[in-house]
Structure 1
Amino acid sequence: MKYVKWTFWALLALIVGGFLHYTLPQHDIVRVVNTYQERQDLGDWTRIFWSDPDDQSSTLTNRDVQFISTIRANGKPMVYRNEDTGWNWPPYFKFDTASLQTEADDLKSSPESPKWAVITHYGWRNQLFSIFPNAVGIKPVAGPDVRIIPWVNIFLLVVLLIIVLTVRAIWRQFRERSIDPLVEDVGEAWDEVEERADAAGDRARGVWGRFMDWLRTWSGKPRK
């Protein structure tokens, strides 16, 4: 049971951690090299990684998606999709896809004369399944060494921690006041039942022993 318990908590932590890592905003310092539009097929299971804007039908099998091609500060390429989230999940309430694409166009630069920008996004990049993070904001920065403090993430994680600790405290109080006394009552009742069963067994053995002694008197065998 110990291994089952730890396996359960490990899987739960993995699921919650993956959900938070995908949903919470992340920040990349990049240099924009290109913006383009491309038609994407949405008919397979990877549809869950594409947005479902309010003004588009969820039954669409393909649609045009805007992309932003960039080079990170470490020299590695990164491509972001640029889609509205509308009022759907995750709750970024993004409606400015066209404006964001225009801002990205304005920040295009070359290696010889770079313009650095910080892109705020959520989601993951996976080349095998053609999954792209969704850019939700872009703004210029002084250089590739600018430090970005994720205040939103810090605030949300602190709030989540407070909620978890509060729920844990409520559960402990409920267990101490309701469950533990009930378990103790059940244990005491079970002990009482066992004591009565033992007493009944002793009485039964006593009656049986007296009966066997009585039989021995008829057979002429001496009592032990």
Structure 2
Amino acid sequence: MRYVKWTFWLLIFVLVGGFLHYTLPQHDIVRIVGIENRRIDIGENSIFWSRAEVGMTDSTSRDVFFINAVYPNGKTMEYRNEDTGWGWPPYFKIDSFGLQTRTKDLVSTASDPVWVQVTHYGWRNKFFTIFPNAVSVKRVAGPDVTVIPWVSIIVLVTLAFILFMIRRMWMQFRERMVDPAMVRAEQAFDRVDARADEVRAGARGLWGRFRSWLDSWKSKPKR
């Protein structure tokens, strides 16, 4: 049971951690090298695509904006640029067209780079054709700029505080209600066991007296 317990909590930790890592905003310092508009057929990985732009018909086949970027170390990254609307995650993004225009103005070359902070959520996975969704773009001073993820810090601290308060309330509830009830139940079981022992002891005594009475009727051995 110990291994089952730890496996259960490990599974919960992985699921919650993966959900938060996908949903919370992340910040990349990149150089924008191009933008494009691509026709996408949404298939089995539809859970990793947002709804259609607000005001447009939601369809399994639609045009999606993409942003192509390069990290300071030369690695490439591709972002999708889709509206989230009023759905999940709650970024309330409804300006994908405006973001695409601002991104186009930040396109640069390796000889004259313009470094940009791209705020996004989601993952990049080539095997499942998953792209992170860009939420905002902002020009920064250089590739070594430090970005403090204030939103993620606030969310995680708030969740930790909520979990701490839930645990405190549960401990108080257990101390006031559950533990006394368990003690009373254990005492009741002890009384039942003691009564059962008394009954068994009485039964053995009665049987012993009956056996002695039977033995008294047996013929005594001749001398």
TM-score w.r.t. length of structure 1: 0.95
Structure 1: how far apart are the matches of 2:65 and 2:218? 105
Partner of 2:143: 144
Query: Which residue matches 1:214?
Result: 213
Structure 2: how far apart are the matches of 1:154 and 1:43? 34
Q: What CA deviation, in whole Å up to 9, does each residue of 1:190-223 have, x standing for no partner? A: 111000001100000110111111111122479x
Q: Pick closer, same or farther for the CA change 1:206–1:57 going to 2, 3 Å.
A: farther
Secondary structure at 2:33 match in 1? strand
Distance between the aligned counterparts of 1:43 and 1:4, measured in 2? Answer: 36
Question: C-alpha distance in 2, partners of 1:20/1:221?
Answer: 90
Superposed CA RMSD: 1.3
Deviates more, 1:24-33 or 1:205-214: 205-214
Match of 2:193 in 1: 194
Q: 1:16 is matched with which residue?
A: 16
Structure 1 ranges of 4+ moved more than 2 A: 53-58, 219-222
Following superposition, the deviation at residue 62 of structure 1 comes to 0.9
Identity %: 56
Unaligned 5+ residue runs, structure 1? none
Determine the structure 2 residue equivalent to 1:99. Answer: 98
Looking at structure 1, the residues matched to 70 and 204 of structure 2 have their Cα atoms a distance apart, in angstroms, of 88
TM-score relative to the length of structure 2: 0.95
SS in 1 for 2:125: coil
Pair 1:88–1:203, CA change in 2 (3 A): same
Change (3 A) 1:32 1:121: same
2:163 aligned residue: 164
Unpaired stretches in structure 2, ≥5 consecutive residues: none
- Measured after TM superposition, the shift of residue 57 of structure 1 is 4.6
Structure-2 change in CA distance of 1:70 and 1:8 (3 Å):
same
Q: Distance in 1 between matches of 2:157 and 2:218?
A: 86
User: CA–CA distance in 1 between the matches of 2:164 and 2:10?
Assistant: 18
Distance 2:172 2:90 in 1: 34
- Pairing of 1:23-102 with structure 2 (within 5 A): 23-44=23-44, 46-53=45-52, 54-58=54-58, 60-102=59-101
